[in-house]
Structure 1
Amino acid sequence: MANALVVRGGWDGHRPVEATDLFLPFLARNGFDVRVSDSTAVYGDPAVMTETDLIVQCVTMSSIGRDEVAGLREAVAAGTGFTGWHGGIADSFRSSSDYLQLVGAQFATHPGKEPACRVQDETDNFLTHTIEITPLGREHPITAGLTDFTLTTEQYWVLHDDLIDVLATTTHPVRTWHPWHRPITSPAVWTRQWGAGRIAVSTPGHSLDVLANPSVRTVIERGMLWASRTASAS
């Protein structure tokens, strides 16, 4: 049996407990013995990390100790898979450059609606946008068979490097109330090889209803299976 470690916490707005609970039955059905931790301190425990085949992280913002991020990096480099969605992985531990390098892309913003249409709640940042599967994504096990799909939720703008393999993108158009002058395309789903380990990230996943979207859920669940050490060893 493979071992999965679910690490959750950070900003409550992303509902880390409820969001990760959605995927626990999937992990169990696919042969994972699941351990849940509400603290990143577990990353600093070599005994736990050595036996972990997959880490599913949902920790938005927050902070992480040096020994913890070092333990995480070492585990992934040794073959532990690492995956997650939205701010739980792409907006974690903003002050840790070592973590940002591991993941390969970092949340910068989610553009908002026209100012006159804002009502001063989270929906001010909910824009209808398309997640477009790339040519690589059409062939990759995580996104093969999926077609472009549309969401109305936060549209992540991320800063990234070119060590990531982009499976899907989303484009921020030019709008009169924003200061940029040409459309900006951001990765929306990507993978990364780090040593012997695999990383899979989906930026959609702000809320429980987005996680229930069939395409989003498929990407996340396939990402778990693909990233796991048991998959990369097969």
Structure 2
Amino acid sequence: MTRAALVVRGGWEGHQPVEATSLFVPFLEREGFTVRIEESPEVYADASIMAGLDLIVQSVTMSQITAGALAGLREAVAGGVGLAGWHGGIADSFRNESDYLQLVGGQFATHPGKAPDERVGEASDNFLAHTIELTPAGREHPITAGIDDFELETEQYWVLHDDLIDVLATTTHPVRPWHPWHRPIVSPAVWTRQWGQGRIFVASPGHDVGVLQNENVRTIIERGMLWASRMA
């Protein structure tokens, strides 16, 4: 059975939206998807395109979206189209749109950095060694089953979220002398969400292609896209 996937990419170039999404297009095609690629979220406003989709893969960090496009996205997901993405491409998109934040259920707040005397003024200032820890639900969920806790050295997302998400993995921000918080903070790192008839999948790791090529991260994202795709 052929399914239809829409890849929407753009926004801040630091997250390598073209290279990152291109990494997963061959996988989707092997899984039987026809893949359409758009460089703007305005495609969401085209009801005729959205009606024929099974899956949306979004990689648009920050940027803006029109009211019509956002309404089209929400309607499509509520009607059964899956929405999947990673890192800022889905959890830091369209910051000014509360209806988008409600749809996804988790929003990037920050990524804590290294000690001030270790910083060199580059992106690596925010690359910290941290652990992605599977939750009990995550150890049984088809997206993350069989994957053990694993280590990454990259941006560690601090995510603001609500209780409608189902958390499959978390990461803990420790207390460090140069940060103002006073107890460890646990953030969701992988989660799913039911929205109407649709499924949403989000993974917070994925700052660049190097992180996405990590075996565990890539496996989680590949499984997550399949899980989110429209159910029969």
User: TM-score when scaled to structure 2?
Assistant: 0.99
1:81-100 alignment runs, 5 A limit: 81-100=82-101
1:136-161: CA deviation from partner (whole Å, max 9, x where unpaired): 00010000000000000000000000
The whole-number CA distance in structure 1 between the counterparts of 2:101 and 2:36 is 25
* Distance in 2 between residues matched to 1:159 and 1:109, nearest whole Å: 10
2:34 pairs with 1:26: no
**CA–CA separation in structure 1 for the residues paired with 2:55 and 2:69:** 16
Equivalence for 1:178: 179
Alignment of 1:1-234 (within 5 A): 1-229=2-230, 232-233=231-232
CA distance in 2: counterparts of 1:102 and 1:112, whole angstroms: 28
Q: Which amino acid aligns with 1:137?
A: G
Question: Helix, strand or coil for the counterpart of 1:139?
Answer: coil
Number of corresponding residues: 231
Q: C-alpha displacement at 1:58, in angstroms? A: 0.2
- Secondary structure of 1:22's aligned partner: helix
Shift of 1:206: 0.1
Deviation at 1:193, TM superposition (A): 0.1
Tell me the distance in 1 between the aligned counterparts of 2:3 and 2:173.
39
- In 2, the alpha carbon distance for the partners of 1:105 and 1:24 equals 25
TM-score by length of 1: 0.98
Give the SS at the match of 2:167: strand
Secondary structure at the residue paired with 1:74? Answer: helix
State the alpha-carbon separation in 2 of the partners of residues 163 and 115 from structure 1. Answer: 36
In the alignment, residue 22 of structure 1 is paired with which amino acid?
Answer: L
Q: CA deviation at 1:92?
A: 0.2
- Give the distance between the partners of 1:88 and 1:41, measured in 2 at CA: 15
Q: Distance in 1 between matches of 2:220 and 2:72?
A: 27
RMSD: 0.4
Q: Name structure 2 gaps, 5 residues minimum.
A: none
Question: Which consecutive aligned stretches of 4+ in structure 1 deviate over 6 angstroms post-superposition?
Answer: none
- CA deviation after TM superposition for structure 1 residue 43, in Å: 0.2
- What displacement does 1:216 show? 0.1
Matched letter for residue 6 of structure 1 = V
Identical counterparts, % of pairs: 72
1:200: Cα distance to partner? Answer: 0.3
Alpha-carbon distance in structure 1 between the residues aligned to 2:162 and 2:213? 29
Gaps of 5+ in 1: none
Provide the C-alpha distance between the structure 2 equivalents of 1:85 and 1:75, rounded to a whole number of angstroms. 19
Shift in Å at residue 117 of structure 1?
A: 0.5
CA distance in 2, matches of 1:114, 1:18: 30
